[in-house]
Each structure stands twice: as structure tokens, then as C-alpha cells.
Amino acid sequence: MSPVPPMKPEPVASDPLLAVPDPARDVRRRIFLWVMPVAVLACLSALLVQAPHFDPLDCWALPTLNVVLLGVYLALRRPTAPVDELIGVAYAAVATYFLLALNHQFEVFVPNHNALSESTFWFAVLYAAAYAAWAPRKAFTFAGITWGLALLIGVLNLFALHADGALTVRVLGIMAQFYLSGAVLIGIQYALAFARKRDREVHLMAYMDFLTGLPNRRYAEGHLAQHTRPGHAPLSVVMLDLDHFKRINDTYGHHVGDHVLRELAQVLSRHTGRARVLARWGGEEFLLILPDTVLADAHALAERMRQSVEAHVFDEVGVATISAGVAQAEADEAAHAVLRRADAALYRAKGQGRNRVMADTEPRGGTRVSLPVTGD
């Protein structure tokens, strides 16, 4: 058996919520990949309808905005792109254009039409876009700054309109509605976004183990139940247990034991992917759920995990090992039944000296499966 090189443990986040990847990141990326071409077409359309008499601002601002949005779109197509930063660039570019357009219409449109132009309707979209792009507090900051700059532009132009004799009660009323409706919209969006954030935190509290940052037993049971329904592809489970964990707690203290469990979760997680679910089952026991995986492949993966743990040097305790039991679910088998068989295999592994992987090789009505003996 070739040893696996030891790997330095990653730092453990003090707040497990912070260690969870943002599930909305890819959603935001996809949304803005769809929005960017629409925005580019909107800019081109705005120029076309003005031909041949172009607005002095739009003749340079819209092409510039188009270049920025196109650059953001091309950058966002890369899966590793910094999504939040690129969306921030796009938002700043669009907000700058609408603020410039607002100032421009106070100089040109308002004195001639005694009203604000239809372009001010897009500020509502801009405020809503901030909440689609970022977390509530950050979105509130961006939308609030945009609204504040728009208000500053309006106040400064009031003096110019008054000096020119173009300030009327109608203009004041329209401006009041524009700014008040924007403030109300930002506030409502913040309240709704904050409520959604709280819902996500509650969901994490219900389905996450806060010591290791892994899904907890409740989540694992629900996930396993979904994949053991009739008609699903082969599924295997692995029960993993840290050997001699009581000895670690008794020798070094429970705080060290907790740290060992966090390190163990990190080592095991290096072997999991999007389809593989590793959960803390309870105490020092972990459950690995492997959809679309036959027994032999699950056994091989469990053995690679065992080798990684054996080669890892844990802080304060040095070397530690795991035992594992593997079982494959049958077509009509309930979740609790396959778990019971995996647990029985785990107990056989611990009974035969620990630091080994054992598989349930005799399914209820199936043929005995021959697998290699692994471990010490």
C-alpha cells in the first residue's frame, strides 16, 4: 500500500456560516450573463432611435457603456471570474450613465417640458438590480449611494431652475414623487432581502453541523431518502468512524477533540465533489452518500479516504485513523436498511482491529461480492 503524502490542514473558519460557499454566486453569474446582452442591445437601440440627431450625452456615453458591459459579459463567461467585482463594475457604469442623464435632463428636458423624462423610470430597475447582485447590506449601500447622488443632482439643479424661472409646482411634485418612491423601493427591497437572508441562515442552522461545517444528520437523512426511492440509479453509503476518539478526549481534552473532528472533516472533504454528500452523522461518526456509485467504487473511495487520514498529521495529537463500513442500496431497499448494513460493516472493521475498510458483500437477495481486504 503506497502512503499518501501528508497534507497541511486548512484553517477552520470561526463562523461556520462563513465557511459555506455562497450558493447564489453561480445564480447571479447566470442572471447577469443573460442581462448583459439585453443591456447592450438596449444601448444600441437607444442610439438608433435618435439617428440622425444624437443627444450630445448619448453620442459618447452610450458607446462607452456598451464597451464596459461587453467587457464584463466576456469576463463573466469564465467560470473562475470574480463575479461580485465584475457585477460591481457593470452596476457602477450603468449608475454613472443614468446619473449623468438625470443631470442632463435638468438642463435640457425639464425647462422645455416642465417634467422629468421617461429615463428616470430606470432608476427603479437600478435599485432592484443592486439587491439581485449583492447581500442586503451591500445592496442597500450601493442603492443608497445611487439614490443620494441622484438627490444631490436634483437639489443642485433646483437652484439653477429657480434662477432661470423654470421651477414650477409641477416640477417640484414630480421630483418629490421620484425621490420618495425611490427611497420607499430601496427600503422595501432591503426588508425583503434581509428576510430572505434570515431564512437562509435558519435553513443552515437546521441542516448544518456547526462544529465541522458539514451537513448534519437531518440533511443526510433527507438526501438519502430522495436517492433511495424506486427508479433511482445505484447508490452506496459509507459509514466512517474516528478510531479511539474517547481516548483523544480523555487525554487531550474535549476542545482538542473538537479540533480533530474539524480537521478530519477537512481531510475527508478533499475526496468529495458536487454529487457526493459528506455529513456528520453524530459524535465522531460521518456518513458519505454516493449516488450513481456501485459497491466496488465506493469501497475504493473509502480506502483512499482511510489512507489520507492515516497519512495526515493532526494538530496536537499527531496520527489518527478511521474505520469505514460500505454498503450498496438495493432497488427497493429503504434508507434505514442500507444504513444498518453499512453500520454493521463498520462494526466489523472496528472489531478486526480498526484502521480498515469493510464492505457489506452479501446483499439481501444478491450475489456475494468479492472485494479486497484493506487497512492494517
Q: Where are the beta strands (DSSP E) in the chain?
A: 235-242, 277-282, 285-291, 313-314, 318-319, 322-328, 356-359, 374-375
Rounded CA gap, 152 and 144, in Å? 12
Q: Quick check: bond before 52 cis, omega within 30?
A: yes
Q: Is the pLDDT score of 225 beyond 60?
A: yes
Grid coordinates of 164: 432661470
Please report how the helices 122-133 and 169-207 are oriented relative to each other, as an axis angle in degrees rounded to 10.
20
DSSP, residue by residue, 197-210: HHHHHHHHHHHB-T
Radius of gyration (C-alpha) of the chain in whole angstroms: 30
For residue 330, what pLDDT band results from cuts at 50, 70 and 90?
Answer: confident
Structural domain boundaries in the chain: 21-207, 217-375
Residue from 304, 359, 293, 364 nearest 333 by CA = 364
Domain formed by 217-375, architecture: 2-Layer Sandwich (3.30)
What's the rounded mean pLDDT across residues 270-286?
89
Instruction: Give the Cβ contact number of residue 337 at 10 Å.
Output: 15
Q: Is the pLDDT score of 332 beyond 50?
A: yes
Q: What is the pTM of this model?
A: 0.58
pLDDT tens-place string over residues 306-324: 999 999 999 889 999 999 9
What's the rounded mean pLDDT across residues 286-297?
93
pLDDT at 19: 38
Q: Is the pLDDT score of 23 beyond 70?
A: no
- What percent of the chain is predicted at pLDDT more than 70? 88
